[in-house]
Chains A and B, each alone.
Chain A
Amino acid sequence: MAISVQQLTKSYRVHHKEAGLRSSLRNLFARRYELVEAVKQVSFEVAQGEIVGFLGPNGAGKTTTLKCLAGLLHPNAGSAEVLGFTPHNRERAFLKQITLVMGQRNQLLWDLPAMETFLVNQAIYGVPEREFRATLQELVALLGLEPLLTKQVRKLSLGERMKCELAASLLHRPRVLFLDEPTLGLDVTAQAAIRDFLRAYNQQYAVTVLLTSHYMADVTALAKRVLVIDHGELKYDGDLHALVEQTAPYKLLRLTLQQPVDSADLTRLGEIESLNGLEVTLRVPRDATKLVMAQVLASLPVEDVMIEEPPIEQIIRDVFQHGASYA
């Protein structure tokens, strides 16, 4: 196993302070602290070469888990093992085999061209010259970095910077990639480029990837397996499609009608998701889809019918709103 996490628990002490001078003074003497459990007894394993997506709303504990695995945080209880190392001991041999890309953090030297950061990383990781040139050439080709290398980092666009950031994080050829919102704030084209790159990179080198993203498309495009985490607890660990079938046991029938019909006729067939003039969307049980379809065609004046999977964003939203357990 590349990653093995057992009963991992991490809590923070959060210090509360209201705005204003008076509360600042009061805070000098008596501080209010609250213990927040960011990750509660989370366990999972990831095999070498696997891509696993981490899903959960803001503050669910995704980033905290990644930070524990990358050795930035010391867990309060439980254990984590990455490539056989205990991350928070931060041994050199461990750090040389992993990387954590944070969409909101920047490792590039701000005032110099990105190439300078690459050279600094080569020196820090002790990458031999030939290996460095070969890796760099490959990353430059895969990410289209050629025109960016000599530009000052602060003059790069967000998307360009993220590409350079990824290259800087991969020059030492890590075996485990932790990606925290790698496409945050990027436009659709740049998102797709990063996604394609990650897929190709994973296939070529069988690197292990643990990825969080707000963009569901990142996760669906890259990961077969997902971990769903909410309020610090692991709610689901398994196949993405199984999650969809399990939590959304319905499909959507999109109908275009020739003339208005009584809504009672519609509710007989399924739950009305939306009704907008002649455009109707019905939720029907997954296993009854064909049957309902036949009934619709027989009993309603339809112009057009389409059967659709519910959008994954919506499924995940449902999951978190209803807070059901589906492990």
Chain B
Amino acid sequence: MHNLLRAYRGLFRANVAIAFTYRAQAVIWMLSFVFPLVMLAVWLAVVDQAGPVGGYNRGDFISYYLVGAVLYRFVLMGLTYHWDHEIRTGELSVRLLKPLDPFHYYLSEQLGWKVLDLLILVPLALVAALLIPGVHYALSPARLLAFVFSVVLGMTINVCISSAFGMIAFWTTQSRNLFELWSGIGQFLSGFIAPLPLFPLFMQRVAAVLPFRNSVGLPVDILMGRVGWAATGQGLLVGALWALGACMIYRVLWRLGLRRYEAVGA
């Protein structure tokens, strides 16, 4: 554990440095913060014409998407791209020689970019929350704690699932595409396109047993006080089971994959 912490400190330092080296890329990447805001603009237009939708008024939508936009950047994890690239090109060989699981390189790289989120997007969202009228959250200590926990769980789920998809690269070159298909479904069922309570009932039921909701919908609902404690617990449990299942699949595929890894190139 001590070794791992040391390694993370070193990797993290370098990865934040890399993220800051690519200043232009960082700016462009920040702009993707705008996509959820486009969804917000659509909903606001609807509310202005037709009045509250499914119990969401103007302030509710703004509150929802302000947090949703940050989470959309912060909670999603794309380890599949690292795994896929390094397995197919044989770059993985360089990592396998080190006394540290390659997983930690990719995770620390992703976390390096998340630091930018924390430093820039979070203050931005906080200022907006204070300035925009009608923005409201249920800020009890218990809810804040549950929110933080649900965000960390959401990240964990995405780390495990994107790694499990990455392992497919040992067998076919399609792991990226499969992951993108999966993420596409996630756009709808995470609550990013619209808050889940606005969906037809059967889709809400499907979303309740899938892991996507843990990325956006559930944490936002917890912060806004729109879910009770029982439903919160249930949502977190479903997420935890997905994280556990995906993690197990990832590790089993990793073992099997290494046996057939061909260390191509060089």
A: residues with CB less than 8 A from B are 12, 63, 67, 70-74, 88, 90, 92, 95-96, 98-100, 102-107, 109, 111-112, 116-117, 119-126, 180-181
Contacts and interface: CB of A to CB of B under 8 A. Distances in A.
A63 B266 contact: yes
A96 B99 contact: yes
Contact of B99 (A95, A180, A181): A95
A125 B98 CA distance: 8
A72 B10 contact: no
Contacts of A106: 94
B263 interface: yes
Most chain-A CB neighbours within 10 Å: which of B6, B98, B258? B98
A92 B4 CA distance: 12
29 contacts: A12-B262, A72-B93, A72-B96, A72-B263, A73-B261, A73-B262, A74-B261, A98-B97, A99-B97, A102-B94, A103-B266, A104-B265, A105-B266, A106-B94, A109-B14, A111-B18, A111-B21, A111-B22, A112-B14, A112-B17, A116-B14, A120-B10, A123-B10, A123-B11, A124-B11, A124-B98, A125-B99, A126-B6, A180-B266
A124 B90 CA distance: 21
B91 A105 contact: yes
A120 B105 CA distance: 10
Contacts of A92: 99
A288 B157 CA distance: 78
Interface string B53-92: 0000000000000000000000000000000000000110
A123 B18 CA distance: 17
Question: Lowest 5 CB-CB distances: which A-B pairs, in order?
Answer: A123-B10, A104-B266, A95-B99, A92-B99, A72-B263
A72 B93 CA distance: 6
A105 B10 contact: no
A73 B263 CA distance: 7
Nearest to B90: A105
A54 to B, nearest CB: 15
Contacts, number: 84
Contacts of A88: 258
B49 interface: no
A67 B93 contact: yes
Contact of A119 (B3, B13, B93, B259): B13
Given A72-B263, A99-B97, A180-B266, A122 B10 contact: yes
Contact residues of B: prevailing secondary structure: helix
B210 interface: no
B14 A67 contact: no
A160 B211 CA distance: 48
B239 to A, nearest CB: 31
Nearest to B3: A126
Contacts of A117: 14
A71 B6 contact: no
Given A95-B98, A99-B97, A123 B9 contact: yes
Contacts of A121: 98
Contacts of B91: 105
B100 interface: yes
Nearest to A101: B97
Contacts of B14: 109, 112, 116-117, 119-120
B7 interface: yes
Nearest to A119: B10
Contact of A123 (B7, B21, B90): B7
Contact of B263 (A67, A95, A109): A67
A109 B10 CA distance: 13
Contacts of A112: 14, 17-18, 21
A61 to B, nearest CB: 13
Contacts of A116: 13-14, 17
B99 A102 contact: no
A123 B4 CA distance: 9
Given A123-B10, A124-B7, A74 B18 contact: no
Interface string B230-251: 0000000000000000000000
Contacts of A74: 258-259, 261
Contact of B11 (A104, A107, A120, A126): A120
A105 B99 contact: no
Given A12-B262, A112-B18, A126-B3, A72 B11 contact: no
Interface string B114-147: 0000000000000000000000000000000000
Contacts of B8: 123
A99 B98 CA distance: 9
A90 B97 CA distance: 8
B265 A90 contact: no
A230 B191 CA distance: 60
A181 B7 CA distance: 29
